[in-house]
């Protein structure tokens, strides 16, 4: 048995993404035949086999990025008839493509979330679908899919986001509410805090906004829930999903876990770290799967009001627009005040507009006393 | 306070001899020689030949005599030099120590404590490198513990002597010279409780005895890669703290079991089965085992190393259960 | 009844009757066991002692109540001779909760700690190290008790025999090693399993005093055991007594007896310890026909009672399967 490994296609190449297999298990492969298409930093390259034989087994699926040297397929040499010993822990070599493997936990979770397992390409041991894969698909974050052969990761992500959002709009009866909040006290408090801090430790308004949402959720636990098996299940921890746009397009929603229990400083640190790792692709699987309510802000892009689409299985989403100075009536006088619009997209199966309005009002109250956050 | 593992064992022995006149120690070369691993050095001088008894090389007779003496109202500590020699006393252990309470309808009690060295790693070749604690853990009627830390090396003996039934203590031979820290204030941890030695969220590394250090080193190495491994020290091999095992797996959804016994019919196999029984729907990856290679432990260093669980093989096993691109 | 001294035997009439009755009880009890085994009331292995009664009765008469007894898997006779009630022994064989081991042991594992009867050990040789340990405990605690340990000629081939004799002698422990040499290790004759067939002679290798005695003569057994016990009690260390005896029935209930001849068995049966002692007592004028008949009736009544007790006993609920695995206190 010969191993077909991710080849080094240049001195500086560390890893490559397999885009497509040009041969399938069972196909004859001759030395020099093109066998796979690999995406590298320098472009798409078709790579050749150096063994003559039969493609026995594929170990890396399209969409997977693997280091140079990784065994990607096994080729049964013509001379050899007996199958080679299986790697430890592996089953007998399969003749065709492996049947889809799903971890027990992932299977259970997929059932709860109504996720179609067939659409998932697993990232777990031996390509098994893990719980993180299921939850990622459920909330529409980055998710390479096996259907149909796609040739670029942005398109794959687009497809996954599309599927999750379509499902959300199809299944969730959304209602939307919006308030405008006077951020005067909050901005003054921030300015005062930051005056005495080194640049690296300065706080931004986002940390205050996130903390206010997290604390408000304590009083409105019905909004901190997942819709599972046709009912809302309140979640024990308040994990705020933070929508992060990626440079290459698409977005990803890692969570700040137990955000209500973190101080503003800690939230700030964790937010900075999370955004950096999201952009660098170094997120942990659990961070992508644990969000209980998503917060999205497009203020820095100049947007006034965000009316977002809920990420299943969550039941609500909070949007913040840009913080801007506006004329504001204070005790009969018109004054310039920093204000922000806060919106709530919520699942009508779980809450009504009345509760939603009270929730937004609670956020407003909390932001009036930033020192208490 | 700082001490070697062997000193911790000696402190445990001394405390036991001081605290209960019924306690005595017997075994091969425990007296004048000071113990094959020097665990009992100085005790003959302090406690005299009635309580520190050198025995002939008669494992069956002196383990059986320990059983009889325990039945007769004493609290014997029997040192069997190593687990390898305990095979000569298996009849007494399996047919008598483990059965007498039950077989006598509860009339007899055998409050016996047996200590022995176990494990490989000193190039002692096949006959002196067994890890057979898993065999003993198969037997109902006895308790089997494996002190992996200095505190446990000192404290488990005293707890064992308070038990109404036989307790077998397996001390890994690689631990004896190791330096460590002894807690002088806290109360000893209960005998039958597993202990999380390092918390983590991505995978549970479940181990005991001489492999604990390797598992912790693996966890440290994995942390540098962004993998958070929890390390569970079983401490007690029979009865197993099943709830602790399942609790850890329920948190991490992945398990790697490190056991110096041979894989087939091992403790690792038992733990795997319990995870399947109790936490199947919590698993996000197949359970992995890191066990000794199925070969009599060879003499040359490189082959002995290759036969035993090592930090690197633990790290590899953890990587196999993690999602690709994690960390 | 007047107490008649029997100068020829050195025992009084009452003692003579006590000895005879003890042997008769074992004989009739075991005959009943064989019958009940046929009716499937008793299951598992059933090793009968018939033919060897003089050993248990004579030897145990030499012991004090505080002395300890460790026996083999052919131990109904020892249990009865030690005073364990026949009803609790039979109930044990029935697997009932009122058995002397709560039904958990059966025929091979009779225990009665209140009578210092430390049980039946069914791995040949396995009881010897335990006996050594019991004696060690007594020595360390300064107790006066000695520990008697019965074993067969088969056990002499086991390492545990040699290890135990050596250790007991080395530490001068109060152990009475009592070898019931019935000439067969299951089906293997003594000559076929021992290079030295004089078992008593083996003790010399461990500097242990020893004596061989006719195991079919209950008075000789008692006398020899008393001598040995006196030596052990004096602090001189262990003593070995070899009783030369014979088992009349199969190793366990039934076997084809391919390993010994009918003639040999018949020859030994002519030396039946029970019958010989009866004849002896009758000849000495210590036993009348009426007394013999009354004794028979009394033994039969005791066995009927035992059977009723075993029948009336309850079995333990399956819910109690795991009891007596782990003690609750130190």
Residues C238-276: pLDDT tens digits?
999 999 999 999 998 788 888 999 999 999 999 999 999
Q: Which member of A64, A107, A128 has the closest CB to residue B285?
A: A128
Nearest CA to CA, how far is B39 from chain C (Å)?
Answer: 23
Distance CA C114, CA B66 (A): 21
Paired sense of beta strands A255-256 and A240-242, if any: antiparallel
Range with lowest mean pLDDT among A234-248, A314-328, C42-56? A234-248
Residue of chain C whose alpha carbon sits nearest to that of B61: C129
Nearest CA to CA, how far is A102 from chain B (Å)?
Answer: 8
- C-beta neighbour count of C93 within 10 angstroms: 25
Q: Which member of C122, C137, C166 has the closest CB to residue B68?
A: C137
Residue of chain B whose alpha carbon sits nearest to that of A133: B323
Paired sense of beta strands A43-48 and A34-40, if any: antiparallel
Q: Does A282 touch chain B (CB under 8 A)?
A: yes
Please write the tens of the pLDDT for every residue from B184-234. Answer: 988 999 999 999 999 999 999 999 999 999 999 999 999 999 999 999 999
User: What is the average pLDDT across C312-317?
Assistant: 94
User: What is the average pLDDT across A21-38?
Assistant: 85
Asked whether the beta carbons of residue C166 and residue B58 sit closer than 8 angstroms, the reply is yes
Please write the tens of the pLDDT for every residue from C89-139. Answer: 999 999 999 999 999 999 999 999 999 999 999 999 999 999 999 999 999
Asked whether the beta carbons of residue A123 and residue B283 sit closer than 8 angstroms, the reply is no
Distance CA C69, CA C86 (A): 17
pLDDT for residue A132 is more than 70: yes
Distance CA B198, CA A50 (A): 46
Please write the tens of the pLDDT for every residue from B79-134. Answer: 999 999 999 999 999 999 999 999 999 999 999 999 999 999 999 999 999 999 99
**Residue A16, Cα to own-chain centre: how many angstroms?**
22
Which two structure tokens, joined as six digits, stand for B228? 């958070």
Is the CB of residue A15 less than 8 Å from the CB of residue A6?
yes
- B322 CB neighbours in chain A (<8 A) are 124-125
Confidence of residue A94 (pLDDT cuts 50, 70, 90): very low
Q: Which residue has the higher pLDDT, A352 or A84?
A: A352
Nearest CA to CA, how far is C167 from chain B (Å)?
Answer: 7
- A133 CB neighbours in chain B (<8 A) are 323
Please write the tens of the pLDDT for every residue from B238-259. Answer: 999 999 999 999 999 999 999 9
Distance CA B151, CA B235 (A): 12
- Name the percent of chain B lying above pLDDT 70: 99
Confidence of residue C2 (pLDDT cuts 50, 70, 90): very low
Range with lowest mean pLDDT among A131-135, B134-138, B254-258? A131-135
Catalytic, B102? Answer no
Query: How many beta-carbon pairs under 8 angstroms link A with B?
Result: 58
Nearest CA to CA, how far is A125 from chain B (Å)?
Answer: 5
Q: Does A301 touch chain B (CB under 8 A)?
A: no
User: What is the average pLDDT across C293-321?
Assistant: 96
Interface test with B, best of C129, C141, C142, C143 (most B CBs within 10 A): C129
Q: Which member of B92, B106, B163 has the closest CB to residue C129?
A: B92
- C130 CB neighbours in chain B (<8 A) are 64-65, 67-68, 71, 92, 96
- Check residue A149 and give its pLDDT: 38
Asked whether the beta carbons of residue B285 and residue A64 sit closer than 8 angstroms, the reply is no
Chains C and B physically touch (3 or more Cβ atom pairs below 8 Å):
yes
**Residue A249, Cα to own-chain centre: how many angstroms?**
13
Considering only CA atoms, give the Rg of chain A. Answer: 25
- Check residue A152 and give its pLDDT: 58
Q: Which member of B73, B105, B164 has the closest CB to residue C328?
A: B164
Half-sphere exposure of A134 (CA within 13 A, CB side): 24
How many residues belong to chain B?
A: 327
Asked whether the beta carbons of residue B68 and residue C136 sit closer than 8 angstroms, the reply is yes
Q: Does B130 touch chain C (CB under 8 A)?
A: no
Interface test with B, best of A6, A71, A72, A104 (most B CBs within 10 A): A104
Nearest CA to CA, how far is B279 from chain A (Å)?
Answer: 9
Residue of chain B whose alpha carbon sits nearest to that of C329: B164
Half-sphere exposure of C269 (CA within 13 A, CB side): 9
Phi-psi region of A180 (alpha: psi -120 to 50; beta: other; left: phi over 0): beta
Distance CA A65, CA A13 (A): 12
Residue of chain B whose alpha carbon sits nearest to that of C327: B164
Residue of chain B whose alpha carbon sits nearest to that of A102: B284
- Among the listed residues B28, B59, B260, B304, the single catalytic one is B59
Please write the tens of the pLDDT for every residue from A285-344. Answer: 567 778 899 999 888 888 989 999 998 889 999 999 999 999 988 888 898 999 999 999
- C95 CB neighbours in chain B (<8 A) are none
User: What is the average pLDDT across C74-101?
Assistant: 97
Distance CA C61, CA C57 (A): 6
- Among the listed residues B7, B28, B79, B128, the single catalytic one is B128
Provide the mean pLDDT of chain B.
Answer: 96
Cross-strand partners of A77: A53
Which two structure tokens, joined as six digits, stand for A25? 């298990």
Q: Which member of C133, C170, C326 has the closest CB to residue B71?
A: C133
Asked whether the beta carbons of residue B283 and residue A89 sit closer than 8 angstroms, the reply is no
Catalytic, B59? Answer yes
pLDDT for residue A112 is more than 90: no
Q: Which member of A64, A124, A282 has the closest CB to residue B284?
A: A124
- A131 CB neighbours in chain B (<8 A) are 253, 284
- Contacting chains of A (3 CB pairs or more, <8 Å) are B
- C-beta neighbour count of A31 within 10 angstroms: 11
Asked whether the beta carbons of residue A286 and residue B325 sit closer than 8 angstroms, the reply is no
Which two structure tokens, joined as six digits, stand for A290? 């644990």
- Name the percent of chain A lying above pLDDT 70: 85
Is the CB of residue B115 less than 8 Å from the CB of residue B63?
no
- Check residue A145 and give its pLDDT: 39
- C136 CB neighbours in chain B (<8 A) are 65, 68-69, 72, 74
- Check residue A26 and give its pLDDT: 86
pLDDT for residue B29 is more than 90: yes
Cα-Cα-Cα-Cα torsion C219, C224, C226, C227, nearest 10 degrees, comes to 150
Which two structure tokens, joined as six digits, stand for C309? 């007790």
Confidence of residue C10 (pLDDT cuts 50, 70, 90): confident
Q: Does A131 touch chain B (CB under 8 A)?
A: yes
Query: How many beta-carbon pairs under 8 angstroms link B with C?
Result: 154
- Check residue A13 and give its pLDDT: 66
pLDDT for residue C175 is more than 50: yes
- Check residue A146 and give its pLDDT: 37
Q: Does B73 touch chain C (CB under 8 A)?
A: yes
- Check residue A12 and give its pLDDT: 59
Q: Which residue has the higher pLDDT, A254 or A175?
A: A175
Is the CB of residue A57 less than 8 Å from the CB of residue A77?
no
Interface test with B, best of A61, A89, A153, A236 (most B CBs within 10 A): A89
Q: Which member of B50, B88, B107 has the closest CB to residue C113?
A: B107
Asked whether the beta carbons of residue A103 and residue B320 sit closer than 8 angstroms, the reply is no
pLDDT for residue A42 is more than 60: no
Quote the Cα angle for B63-B69-B70, to 5°. 90
Provide the mean pLDDT of chain C.
Answer: 95
């Amino acid at each position: 048995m010969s191993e077909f490994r991710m080849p080094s296609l240049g001195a500086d190449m560390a890893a490559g993404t397999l885009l497509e297999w040009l041969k399938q298990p069972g196909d004859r492969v001759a030395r020099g035949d093109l066998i796979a298409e690999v995406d590298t930093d320098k472009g798409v390259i078709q790579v050749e086999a150096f063994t003559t034989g039969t493609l026995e087994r594929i170990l890396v699926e399209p969409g997977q990025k693997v280091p140079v040297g990784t065994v990607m397929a096994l080729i049964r040499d013509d001379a050899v008839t007996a199958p080679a010993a299986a790697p430890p822990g592996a089953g007998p070599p399969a003749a065709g493509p492996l049947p889809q493997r799903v971890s027990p936990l992932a299977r259970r979770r997929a059932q709860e979330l109504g996720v179609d397992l067939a659409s998932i390409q697993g990232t777990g041991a031996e390509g098994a679908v893990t719980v993180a894969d299921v939850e990622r698909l459920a909330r529409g974050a980055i998710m390479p899919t096996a259907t149909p052969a796609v040739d670029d990761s942005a398109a794959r992500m687009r497809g996954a986001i599309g599927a999750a959002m379509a499902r959300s709009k199809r299944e969730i009866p959304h209602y939307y509410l919006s308030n405008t909040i006077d951020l005067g006290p909050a901005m003054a408090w921030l300015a005062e805090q930051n005056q005495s801090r080194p640049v690296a430790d300065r706080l931004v308004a986002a940390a205050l906004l996130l903390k206010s949402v997290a604390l408000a959720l304590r009083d409105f636990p019905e909004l901190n829930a997942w819709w599972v098996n046709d009912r809302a299940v309140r979640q024990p921890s308040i994990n705020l999903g933070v929508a992060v746009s990626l440079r290459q397009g698409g977005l990803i929603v890692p969570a700040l876990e137990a955000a209500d229990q973190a101080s503003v400083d800690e939230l700030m640190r964790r937010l900075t770290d999370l955004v950096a790792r999201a952009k660098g692709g170094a997120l942990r699987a659990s961070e992508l799967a644990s969000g209980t309510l998503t917060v999205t802000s497009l203020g820095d892009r100049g947007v006034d009001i965000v009316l977002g689409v809920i990420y299943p299985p969550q039941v609500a989403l909070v949007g913040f627009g840009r913080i801007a100075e506006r004329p504001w009536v204070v005790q009969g006088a018109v004054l310039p005040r920093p204000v922000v619009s806060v919106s709530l997209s919520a699942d009508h199966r779980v809450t009504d507009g009345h509760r939603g309005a009270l929730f937004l009002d609670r956020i407003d109250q909390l932001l009036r006393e930033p020192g208490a956050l | 306070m700082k001490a070697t593992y062997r000193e911790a064992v000696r402190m445990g022995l001394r405390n036991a001899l001081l605290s209960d006149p019924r306690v005595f120690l017997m075994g091969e070369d425990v007296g004048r020689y000071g113990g094959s691993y020097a665990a009992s050095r100085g005790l003959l001088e302090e406690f005299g030949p009635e309580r520190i008894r050198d025995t002939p090389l008669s494992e069956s007779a002196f383990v059986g005599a320990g059983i009889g003496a325990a039945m007769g109202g004493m609290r014997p500590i029997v040192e069997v030099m190593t687990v390898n020699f305990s095979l000569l006393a298996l009849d007494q252990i399996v047919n008598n120590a483990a059965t007498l309470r039950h077989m006598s309808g509860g009339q007899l009690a055998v409050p016996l404590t047996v200590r022995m060295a176990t494990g490989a790693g000193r190039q002692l070749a096949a006959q002196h490198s067994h890890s057979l604690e898993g065999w003993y853990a198969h037997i109902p009627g006895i308790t089997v513990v494996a002190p992996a830390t200095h505190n446990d090396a000192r404290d488990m003996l005293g707890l064992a002597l308070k038990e109404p039934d036989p307790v077998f203590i397996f001390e890994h031979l690689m631990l004896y010279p190791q330096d460590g820290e002894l807690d002088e204030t806290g109360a000893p941890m209960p005998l039958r409780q597993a202990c999380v030695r390092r918390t983590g969220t991505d995978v549970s590394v479940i181990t005991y005895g001489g492999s604990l250090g390797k598992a912790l080193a693996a966890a440290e190495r994995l942390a540098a890669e962004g993998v958070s491994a929890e390390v569970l020290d079983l401490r007690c091999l029979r009865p197993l703290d099943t709830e602790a095992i399942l609790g850890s797996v329920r948190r991490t959804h992945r398990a790697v079991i490190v056991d110096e016994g041979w894989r087939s019919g091992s403790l690792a196999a038992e733990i795997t089965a319990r995870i399947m029984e109790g936490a199947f729907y919590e698993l996000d990856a197949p359970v992995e085992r890191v066990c000794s290679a199925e070969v009599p432990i060879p003499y040359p260093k490189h082959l002995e190393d290759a036969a035993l669980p090592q930090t690197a093989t633990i790290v590899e096993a953890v990587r196999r259960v993690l999602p690709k691109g994690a960390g | 009844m007047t107490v008649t001294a029997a100068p020829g035997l050195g025992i009084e009439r009452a003692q003579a009757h006590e000895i005879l009755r003890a042997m008769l009880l074992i004989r009739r009890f075991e005959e009943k066991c064989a019958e009940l085994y046929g009716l499937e009331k008793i299951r598992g292995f059933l090793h009968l002692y018939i033919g060897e009664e003089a050993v248990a009765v004579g030897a145990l008469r030499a012991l004090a109540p505080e002395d300890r007894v460790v026996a083999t898997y052919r131990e109904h006779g020892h249990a009865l001779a030690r005073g364990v009630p026949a009803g609790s022994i039979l109930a044990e064989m029935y697997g009932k909760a009122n058995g002397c081991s709560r039904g958990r042991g059966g025929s091979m594992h009779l225990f009665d700690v209140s009578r210092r009867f430390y049980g039946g050990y069914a791995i040949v040789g396995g009881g010897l190290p335990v006996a050594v340990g019991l004696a060690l405990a007594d020595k360390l605690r300064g107790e006066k008790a000695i520990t008697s340990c019965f074993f067969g000629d088969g056990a002499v081939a086991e390492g545990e025999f040699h290890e135990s004799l050596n250790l007991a002698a080395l530490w001068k422990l109060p152990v009475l090693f009592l070898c019931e040499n019935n000439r067969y290790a299951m089906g293997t004759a003594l000559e076929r399993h021992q290079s030295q067939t004089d078992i008593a002679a083996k003790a010399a290798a461990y500097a242990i005093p020893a004596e061989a005695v006719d195991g079919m003569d209950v008075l000789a057994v008692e006398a020899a055991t008393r001598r040995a016990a006196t030596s052990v009690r004096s602090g001189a260390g262990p003593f070995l007594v070899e009783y030369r005896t014979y088992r009349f029935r199969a190793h366990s209930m039934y076997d084809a007896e391919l390993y010994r001849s009918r003639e040999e068995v018949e020859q030994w049966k002519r030396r039946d310890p029970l019958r010989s002692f009866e004849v002896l007592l009758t000849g000495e004028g210590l036993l009348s026909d009426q007394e013999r008949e009354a004794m028979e009736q009394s033994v039969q009544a005791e066995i009927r009672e035992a059977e009723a007790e075993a029948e009336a006993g309850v079995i333990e609920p399956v819910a109690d399967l795991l009891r007596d695995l782990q003690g609750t206190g130190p």
